């Protein structure tokens, strides 16, 4: 990277809540926020919002007649974006870019409109404009009245971290000075759950921690989906409002051996982590927030990649998916949030059922990993 990038604010909504205090308090707890919900007539595991957040989103929907037809991914993105720019000291009408993506997009509306089409042979007038992938950033820009570029994309589960890559390219090229980046995902729908179950990767064991992310000895896949949106405000260089700095970025794409999985030793992660570290010695990485989706192969291949890069002296390893589920396109930014909070509070958040690790007293450099179907890996280096 030419220059480091300041993260001047973060905002999120997930099963953990939507304020820094509540989210951090819930991270300090050993409790999983995965519960159950009915899909396709069966009870399945899911990480859902608290009722208070659901009420806030409904109030947002009713606040403007134009918002009544929007998908929940868009409403979530608007809500967290308002919070983020306020915390960063940005104002409505400012010149900043927006790149907020989603893996699945307007899944709720797509399923509803498609069902209506199958039943009636017709569809609603707003079907197309409310289900396009560009819907998210465009509506956020409308709400915030920003004057910068608007970008939306889907790179499956690494979507939010790819948004960071895009923003850094724009900022360091001189084409933008500030960027709002992140991801929004509302995957708790009948069809989405059915897709994950068809892949045989969804959790089905009733236990204290349904998602066994970073349990390297599990014999069954345990992925669970969660709903969430998370964004960050990025600005170039030193900044008195900075809560952390992005000092390295890495990316790579695996040569696929299977249509949905990465290579056995996650070569893509080996490359992305090395690129993100740059000239920094591996011994200076204090922790890694792993992608660790809770699947047997996904968790183990990433762990093997970390072993290849770091040898016997591994950094502290953690993940948040055992607590909040896999939030697809939003997951990378939620991992960034966890890393930033650990840097701010100087406290490492362990996975309660994993082998205990020797906690380091000083957290300075943390790597964050994300990868999606197709082996699109991204690693981001955060520094206090």
The proportion of the chain whose per-residue pLDDT surpasses 70, expressed as a percent, equals: 99
Report the candidate in 284, 288, 274, 260 with the shortest Cα–Cα distance to residue 371.
Answer: 260
Categorize the per-residue pLDDT at 255 as very low, low, confident or very high, splitting at 50, 70 and 90.
confident
Mean pLDDT of the chain: 95
Q: Is the pLDDT of residue 271 over 80?
A: yes
What is the per-residue pLDDT for 261? 64
Write the burial class of residue 162 (CB in 10 Å: 0-12 exposed, 13-18 middle, 19+ buried).
Answer: buried
How many helices (H) and strands (E) the chain has is answered by 12, 12
**pTM check: above 0.95:** yes
The full set of domains in the chain, from first to last, is 5-236 (3.40.47.10), 246-383 (3.40.47.10)
Q: Is the pLDDT of residue 228 over 70?
A: yes
Quick: pLDDT tens for 150-184: 999 999 999 999 999 999 999 999 999 999 999 99
The whole-number average pLDDT for the span 306-317 is 96
For 212-240, give the DSSP string.
-TT-TT-SS--B-BB-EEEEEEEEES--T
Quick: pLDDT tens for 72-125: 999 999 999 999 999 999 999 999 999 999 999 999 999 999 999 999 999 999
């Amino acid at each position: 990277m030419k220059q480091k990038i300041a993260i001047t604010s973060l905002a999120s909504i997930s099963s953990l809540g939507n304020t820094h205090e509540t989210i951090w308090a819930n991270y300090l707890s050993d409790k999983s926020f995965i519960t159950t919900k009915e899909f396709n007539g069966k009870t399945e595991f899911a990480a859902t919002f608290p009722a208070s957040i659901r009420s806030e989103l409904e109030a947002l929907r009713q606040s403007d007649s134009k918002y009544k037809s929007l998908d929940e991914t868009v409403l979530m993105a608007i809500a967290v974006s308002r919070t983020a720019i306020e915390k960063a000291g940005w104002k409505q009408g400012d010149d900043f870019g927006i790149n907020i993506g989603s893996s699945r997009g307007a899944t709720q509306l797509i399923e509803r409109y498609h069902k209506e089409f199958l039943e009636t042979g017709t569809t609603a007038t707003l079907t197309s404009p409310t289900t396009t992938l560009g819907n998210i950033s465009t509506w956020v820009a409308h709400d915030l009245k920003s004057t910068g570029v608007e970008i939306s994309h889907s790179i499956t589960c690494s979507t939010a971290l790819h948004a960071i890559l895009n923003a850094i390219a724009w900022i360091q090229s001189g084409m933008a000075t500030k960027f709002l980046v992140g991801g929004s995902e509302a995957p708790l729908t009948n069809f989405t759950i059915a897709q994950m179950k068809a892949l045989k990767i969804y959790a089905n064991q009733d236990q204290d921690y349904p998602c066994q992310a970073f349990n390297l000895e599990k014999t069954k896949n345990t992925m669970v989906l969660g709903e969430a949106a998370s964004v960050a405000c990025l600005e170039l260089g030193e900044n008195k409002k900075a809560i952390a700095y992005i000092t390295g970025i890495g990316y790579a794409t695996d040569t696929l051996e299977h249509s949905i999985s990465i290579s056995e030793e996650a070569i893509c992660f080996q490359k992305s982590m090395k690129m993100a570290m740059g000239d920094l010695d591996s011994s200076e990485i204090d922790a890694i927030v792993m992608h660790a989706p809770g699947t047997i192969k996904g968790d183990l291949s990433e762990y093997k990649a970390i072993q290849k890069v770091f040898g016997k002296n591994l950094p502290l390893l953690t993940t948040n998916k055992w607590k909040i589920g896999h939030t697809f396109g939003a997951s990378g930014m939620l991992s960034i949030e966890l890393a930033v909070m650990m840097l701010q509070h100087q406290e490492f958040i362990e996975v309660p059922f994993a082998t205990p690790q020797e906690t380091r007293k000083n957290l300075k450099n943390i790597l964050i990993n994300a990868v999606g179907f197709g082996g699109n890996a991204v690693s981001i280096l955060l520094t206090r």
